Amino acid sequence: MMMARRLVTAVVLIGALSPTAMGDIPAGVPDELSANRLDRAALIAMPSVWKVDVTAHMRALRTLSGAVVTLPPAARTVHREGTAFGVTPEGHLVTAAHVAEPAAGDLAEIAYLQKLALEGKPHDDAIAERWVKRTGAVPVGLGPLSLVVRPAAAGAAAAHDHAASPRIVTTDWLRDLTVLRVPGIHDAPSLGLDRGVDAGTPIATLGFGGADHFAAPQRGALVPAVRTGLIGQTGPVEKAPLRILTLITNEVQHGDSGGPVVDEQGRVRGVVLVRRRDGGGAMTPTEELVRVLDSAGVHAWEGRTQTLYRGALASMSRYDLAGARRGLRGALASYPDHGLATYEMARLDQLAHARVRLAGEPWYRGGFTVVGISALVIAIILGVLLWKALIRTPGVLGPRDGTPYDHEDDPHDD
């Protein structure tokens, strides 16, 4: 019976994960049935990730020499994106300080980059960075910054705008970390912390960065990019010579700053802070994050919602769809604005529509089971017929009727 169940499961998964079904998975969302543990860890962490948008307005840029560079009207509004993640069910988020409160030079770089692009001139981050450093340019007429966060979401949840204006709880500029608090949040998804920084540990980063500010997104607007790699050595990096950071091999991009670095269990090992020029990035380890949280009186923990969601994905990995459905319903009851639970429920409905019957339910039920067993029987019959044909065909496995070739009668013999 166990063998029959496994055969049925294999047939079911082929049908359930057909190109049509797979096409319903938004780009960037890991497959909940993936055998890659980092894919599943990223899916566990994704509902706790938030997109950070900072908007600033300026009229021009002024260099150290006093020259004023007039900005085209379309370049006067600057948007900076980053990433944050929840550390408590009460709406405490962590991000990079340079994301939540960008320096004047950072805003000048973005404005100058936009100016070059609008004028049709060569432009990239490196060009803008070099120009600002060489000229010392700063914004002129800089207005108040607007800070807005939105939770990661896919499927139906992505159609609703849950934008919020958080308040800044504390900022540690030495560690480049900021703690935010989203008002009116209770039982939100949040991530547990792990202080280990063992070199070689497989990790995934989640963030809203991209290689090109002007390129169309290759995933849903509220789906963070997942980049995998390994934890490296701890030491100074070129962009932060006064700090000791932990290197990571993940190819992080601008906009990933402030995002979580998670291990195969979906626990936070650090916070993305730096994109390295020679590839990869650097994170501040969880140990430093805990110090900042302690100074703010914040204790990181996973609440009921995250526990239910984590359990639902674990049930899914065991093909226990009934258990996964109960866990997702519980997560939605605990936190109705969950950004991934509704999407995962829709995925379960896809499988149910295909009449999938997996672990926890009788193996002999369901139309796909009948199809699978029928296909198996047909395959066995065809195999037997083929075998018989082979053993009765001369020159394949032997002569007919077991007569040796070298003893066949010669018609010319008496």
The 10s digit of each residue's pLDDT in 92-107 is: 999 999 999 999 999 9
Question: For the chain, which residues make up each domain, given as ranges?
Answer: 37-295, 367-407
Mean pLDDT value across the chain: 84
The 10s digit of each residue's pLDDT in 263-290 is: 999 999 999 999 988 889 999 999 999 9
CA atoms of 388 and 398, how far apart (whole Å): 12
Range scoring the smallest mean pLDDT among 84-88, 143-147, 163-167, 278-282: 278-282
Please list, in sequence order, all residues whose beta carbon lies within 8 angstroms of the beta carbon of residue 166, skipping any fewer than 6 positions away: 91, 93, 147, 149, 180, 181, 182, 183
Buried b (16+ CB within 10 A) or exposed e, 80-114: bbbbbbbbbbbbbbbbbbbbbbbeeebbbbbbbbb
Residues facing residue 268 across a β-bridge: 193, 262
CA atoms of 262 and 298, how far apart (whole Å): 20
238: burial class by Cβ within 10 Å (0-12, 13-18, 19+)? exposed
What pLDDT shows up at residue 99? 97
What pLDDT shows up at residue 1? 43
Stated as kind and residue range, the H or E segment containing 106 is: helix 104-118
Q: How big is the chain by its Cα radius of gyration, in Å?
A: 29
CA atoms of 217 and 208, how far apart (whole Å): 10
Residue 408 has pLDDT above 60, yes or no: no
Instruction: Say if CB 338 and CB 189 are below 8 A apart.
Output: yes
Average pLDDT on 22-43 reads 78
Closest CA to 206 of 183, 217, 193, 222: 222
The 10s digit of each residue's pLDDT in 105-153 is: 999 999 999 999 999 999 988 899 999 999 999 999 999 999 999 999 9
Average pLDDT on 41-60 reads 97
The 10s digit of each residue's pLDDT in 196-248 is: 999 999 999 999 997 555 554 556 789 999 999 999 998 776 666 677 799 99
What pLDDT shows up at residue 175? 94
The 10s digit of each residue's pLDDT in 143-153 is: 999 999 999 99
Determine how β-strand 177-181 pairs with β-strand 240-248. Answer: unpaired
What token pair was written down for 386?
Answer: 């083929």
What pLDDT shows up at residue 114? 95
What architecture (CATH level 2) is domain 37-295? Answer: Beta Barrel (2.40)
The 10s digit of each residue's pLDDT in 331-360 is: 999 999 999 999 999 888 877 665 444 444
